[in-house]
Chain A
């Protein structure tokens, strides 16, 4: 079938998934994009979000926290720093990730007092994570966050 592309999801420690897919929806840093066979070769960074892979009429969902994706006309390789199948994303795991992002944010705030760039970036990461949490029905516990 010419209308499938090879989908690989690779984490630093192991290969998480590798199969043929018909479409891959990628949470790109500049906005979501969907890759299908014949896509122009593209490299994009990821924001925290949900990666959807459609194959054989089914949709697999993975939560990714960042990384980048390499799209060629016959394949998509996602190199994610942290990624989990959506089913394994429990409140505990999510809480841990949120704590980490908030620490980064606090640190960015103290390190770069007069440079808004890194602070805004860190704030955006948190906002993205909160959006992911709300989307899949986990509590981002915003109230603990000043």
Chain B
């Protein structure tokens, strides 16, 4: 049985851990609200944008002169995986879930004889994938200085991706991020951004528009922006997911620390009583021996 002093030290150390996890949980809750607000505020733009783009794409999609960003390069040999994770840990399975999805995806592509290139955003995903896919890294975007996701950050990543595409570095780009559902559920998601894909029903075909300049010129102008818009939406979802995951992880940790403190306190009281009983027996038997 550990002695009383050790127990007391352990109890106080677990107590301070609980204080830290509790503080982190509250910070994450506050940040989550901000991240959710940001994600919500960005929604009208993304929705209108996608609706217009989808309408245009369905009109131009099959023509031979369709931009490469929409029609693809004609092959699917080289895949670029953009893996977006957090810069910090201590957020439950958030980072490893995204990394796992990306890893499975990469293995499947490699098994099919495709070339895989990986661009990481956020250092946690980078270190998670480094061991088995480190040779495929083509770049990294550091987000540690970014306090609040802005559209400019997304534009930066989009520019990087588009430059590689223009240089013919890859045929298909997919982004990996976590879609925020609620505090306890976040879904790691893979979404193809180049060539652009649209869900059925995104296009509102109720109105026939005049286009100025022509449809194809507008499309060529909008598609690169569409990449940035999608990346921005993903970054915001990711930011909200990260805080949600951290909040629930820290909530769990706080609860576990509480349970541990209870157990240790019982153990401490028991051993204290045993020591007292022991002392009494010694005194009594000492007195009897006289």
Residues of A within 8 A of B (CB): 8, 10-15, 28-30, 33, 40-45, 67-68, 70, 72, 77, 79, 81
Contact = CB atoms under 8 A, between A and B. Distances in A.
Nearest to B213: A30
B211 A44 contact: yes
B69 to A, nearest CB: 15
Given A12-B151, A68-B218, 8 more contacts: A12-B42, A28-B212, A29-B213, A33-B212, A41-B210, A42-B210, A43-B212, A44-B218
Q: Is the interface of A mostly helix, strand, loop or mixed?
A: strand
Interface stretch (B45-53, B172-180, B248-256, B267-275): B45-53
Contacts of A45: 212-213, 217-218, 221-222
Contacts of B94: none
Nearest to A39: B210
Interface string B212-234: 11000110011001001100100
Interface in B17-46: 38, 41-42, 44-46
Contact of B209 (A8, A13, A33, A41): A41
A12 B52 contact: no
Interface in B128-182: 150-151, 154
B224 to A, nearest CB: 11
Contacts of A33: 212
B225 A81 contact: yes
A72 B48 CA distance: 13
Contacts of A42: 209-212
Q: Report the interface size class on chain B.
A: 20 to 34
B290 interface: no
Contact of A29 (B52, B212, B228, B232): B212
A14 B52 contact: no
A43 B213 CA distance: 9
Given A13-B42, A42-B210, A44-B211, A68 B52 contact: yes
Interface in B176-225: 207-213, 217-218, 221-222, 225
A44 B212 contact: yes
A31 to B, nearest CB: 9
A81 to B, nearest CB: 7
Nearest to B210: A42
A10 B48 contact: yes
Contacts of A77: 48
A72 B44 CA distance: 17
Contact of B45 (A10, A40, A43): A10
B52 A70 contact: yes
Contacts of A68: 52, 218, 221-222
Contacts of B213: 29-30, 44-45
Nearest to B38: A13
A72 B207 contact: yes
A40 B221 contact: no
A107 B218 CA distance: 22
A74 to B, nearest CB: 11
A141 B85 CA distance: 41
B225 A30 contact: no
Closest 10 CB pairs of A and B: A12-B151, A14-B41, A44-B212, A42-B210, A41-B207, A10-B45, A41-B209, A43-B209, A12-B45, A10-B44
Most chain B CB inside 10 Å of its own CB: which residue of A12, A15, A29 = A12
Nearest to A82: B151
A81 B228 CA distance: 11
A11 B45 contact: yes
B237 to A, nearest CB: 14
A43 B48 contact: no
A30 B212 contact: yes
A109 B53 CA distance: 29
Contacts of A41: 207-210
A13 B46 CA distance: 9
Given A10-B48, A12-B151, A30-B212, A43 B41 contact: no
